[in-house]
């Protein structure tokens, strides 16, 4: 009989990513239902100082691998180390973030541990002691429920911004176990990637996203969206047309071949609403579309639609947001 539900937290740039707290909260709910312990795996360079953050969301014991070799996610170093730590947790269920790195790690771990993975899940239920995970299929056109054979290790990666977080309990402390994992030398040519992400809100974790499409007409006009996003505390996204034109980096792309996002508010500006774009943002809580074409497909998905030339509407809207913010 397995002893735990185990979460694999994601640590980057000196902090756990928010999705780590979401999976900890979900893990807590599952562990309580199944009568199991909740363990966490924390891996990274300098991660030791932050492990008690996980305790606030119900993690009882944290296994820590803190080594400069884990500064960046590299499959060759992370996969064997996390697999080794998972063995020590004796889990019935493993939850991971369905972030860019988390998806890569989950798939490789599932292969190594010879189990099935429900990737990018949006809901988990426990019925009669059996776990089921729901995930969107075919670009979000339908939803599938997955379950595991009796005795199989359940592995689920969870879409960021979907699982609700518990109220953090500052009084909680977790047992911390430092694990001496053997760090294999990475044979891949990429050993570290330096990106200037300072101050940039990660799209998959953003509460509000302002996205621009081909209707923006050129890269310089995204300054308008940056300004609006700055006032709203939002991240800036883009359609593939804007990315393919070289106006925005691929890391900003929302959609089937970009990122899947689930903000509370998604503002689509000059985006037609092609099915491949909707696959990436269709589960946003509220969608606002700004498009001069009243027949644009995005309006069939939008909660609020503005039929107007974006170059007239966005400056006026931005000024109104600024006025409201300054009177707060
Ligand atoms: C395999 C595959 C994968 C794909 N993956 C993705 C993906 O991940 N993400 C993605 O986005 N796309 C993806 N696409 C591309 C997708 O099919 C569309 O081509 C793309 O989303 C269109 O981008 P867009 O809406 O910005 O451009 P368009 O479809 O050209 O729409 C531009 C919109 O701007 C409006 N507009 C123009 N000027 C103004 C103005 N002044 N004011 C207001 N509105 C204005 C127009 O009315 C129009 O509706 C994929 C396609 C394929 C085949």
* Residue with CA nearest ligand 1 atom 9: 255
**pLDDT 10s digits, 306-328:** 999 999 999 999 999 999 988 87
Of 129-143, 241-255, 311-325, least confident by mean pLDDT is: 129-143
- H or E, element range at 267: strand 265-269
- What's the confidence (pLDDT) of residue 190? 62
CA 263 to chain CA mean position, Å: 10
How many Cα neighbours within 13 Å face the side chain of 79? 17
Residue 135: pLDDT over 80 = yes
Residue 128: pLDDT over 60 = yes
Residue 252: pLDDT over 70 = yes
Contact between 73 and 13 under an 8 Å Cβ cutoff? The reply is: no
- Mention every residue, 6+ apart, whose C-beta is less than 8 A from residue 85: 41, 43, 63, 65, 179, 181
Contact between 10 and 97 under an 8 Å Cβ cutoff? The reply is: yes
Contact between 142 and 279 under an 8 Å Cβ cutoff? The reply is: no
How many Cα neighbours within 13 Å face the side chain of 223? 3
- What's the confidence (pLDDT) of residue 196? 52
Residue 193: pLDDT over 60 = no
- What's the confidence (pLDDT) of residue 195? 56
Burial class of residue 192 in the structure, from the number of CB atoms within 10 Å of its CB (0-12 exposed, 13-18 middle, 19+ buried):
exposed
- What's the confidence (pLDDT) of residue 1? 78
Residue 194: pLDDT over 80 = no
* Residue with CA nearest ligand 1 atom 51: 276
Residue 37: pLDDT over 70 = yes
Average of per-residue pLDDT values in the chain: 93
User: Quick one: which of 125, 118, 131, 129 has its CA closest to 163?
Assistant: 125
Mean pLDDT over 250-258 rounds to 94
For each of the domains in the chain, give its residue range(s) and CATH number, in order of start.
4-178 (3.40.50.620), 203-326 (3.40.50.1220)
- What's the confidence (pLDDT) of residue 24? 98
Q: Give the number of the atom of ligand 1 that is nearest the alpha carbon of residue 298.
A: 49
Mean pLDDT over 185-209 rounds to 71
Mean pLDDT over 9-35 rounds to 96
Alpha-carbon gap, residue 279 to 86, rounded angstroms: 33
pLDDT class for 199, splitting at 50, 70, 90?
A: low
Q: Given ligand 1 and candidates 222, 277, 279, 308, which is best to mutate, with the most ligand atoms within 8 Å of its CB?
A: 277
Contact between 119 and 146 under an 8 Å Cβ cutoff? The reply is: no
Mean pLDDT over 192-219 rounds to 83
- What's the confidence (pLDDT) of residue 228? 97
- What's the confidence (pLDDT) of residue 99? 92
Q: What is the Å distance from ligand 1's center to 174 Cα?
A: 48
pLDDT class for 201, splitting at 50, 70, 90?
A: confident
* Residue with CA nearest ligand 1 atom 38: 215
Q: Give the number of the atom of ligand 1 that is nearest the alpha carbon of residue 213.
A: 26
Residue 140: pLDDT over 90 = no
Residue 182: pLDDT over 90 = no
pLDDT class for 205, splitting at 50, 70, 90?
A: confident
pTM: 0.81
Determine what percent of the chain is predicted with pLDDT higher than 90: 86
Alpha-carbon gap, residue 62 to 213, rounded angstroms: 43
Cα Rg for the chain, rounded, in angstroms? 21
- What's the confidence (pLDDT) of residue 65? 97
Residue 139: pLDDT over 80 = no
Q: Given ligand 1 and candidates 237, 258, 274, 278, which is best to mutate, with the most ligand atoms within 8 Å of its CB?
A: 274
**DSSP one-letter string for 113-152:** TT--EEEEESEEEEETTEEEEEEEEGGGTEEEEEE--TTP
Residue 144: pLDDT over 70 = yes
pLDDT class for 293, splitting at 50, 70, 90?
A: very high
């Amino acid at each position: 009989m397995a002893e735990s539900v185990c979460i694999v937290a994601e640590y980057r740039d000196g902090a756990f990513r928010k999705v780590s707290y979401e999976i900890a909260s979900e893990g807590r709910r599952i562990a309580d239902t199944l009568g199991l312990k909740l363990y966490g795996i924390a891996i990274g360079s300098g991660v030791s100082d932050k492990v008690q953050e996980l305790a606030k969301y119900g993690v009882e014991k944290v296994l820590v691998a803190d080594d400069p070799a884990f500064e960046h996610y590299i499959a060759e170093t992370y996969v064997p180390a996390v697999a080794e730590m998972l063995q020590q947790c004796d889990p019935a269920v493993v939850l991971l973030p369905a972030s860019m790195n988390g998806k890569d790690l989950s798939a490789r771990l599932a292969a190594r541990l010879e189990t099935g993975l429900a990737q990018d899940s949006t809901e988990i239920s426990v019925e009669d002691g059996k776990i089921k995970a729901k995930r969107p299929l075919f670009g979000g056109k339908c939803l599938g429920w997955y379950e595991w054979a009796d005795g199989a290790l359940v592995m689920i990666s969870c879409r960021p911004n979907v699982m609700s977080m518990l109220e953090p309990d500052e009084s909680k402390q977790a047992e911390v176990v430092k694990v001496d994992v053997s760090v294999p030398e990475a044979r891949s040519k990429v050993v570290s990637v330096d990106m200037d992400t300072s101050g940039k809100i990660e799209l998959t974790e953003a509460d509000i996203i302002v996205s621009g499409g081909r209707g923006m007409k050129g890269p310089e006009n995204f300054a308008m969206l940056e300004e609006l996003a700055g006032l709203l505390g939002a991240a800036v996204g883009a359609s593939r047309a804007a990315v393919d034109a070289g106006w925005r980096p691929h890391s900003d792309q929302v959609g089937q071949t970009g990122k899947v996002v689930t903000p509370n508010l998604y503002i689509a500006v000059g985006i037609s609403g092609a099915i491949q774009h909707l696959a990436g943002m269709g589960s946003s809580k509220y969608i606002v579309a700004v498009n001069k074409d009243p027949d644009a497909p995005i309006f069939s998905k939008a909660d609020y639609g503005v039929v107007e030339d974006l170059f007239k509407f966005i400056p006026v809207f931005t000024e109104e947001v600024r006025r409201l913010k300054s009177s707060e």
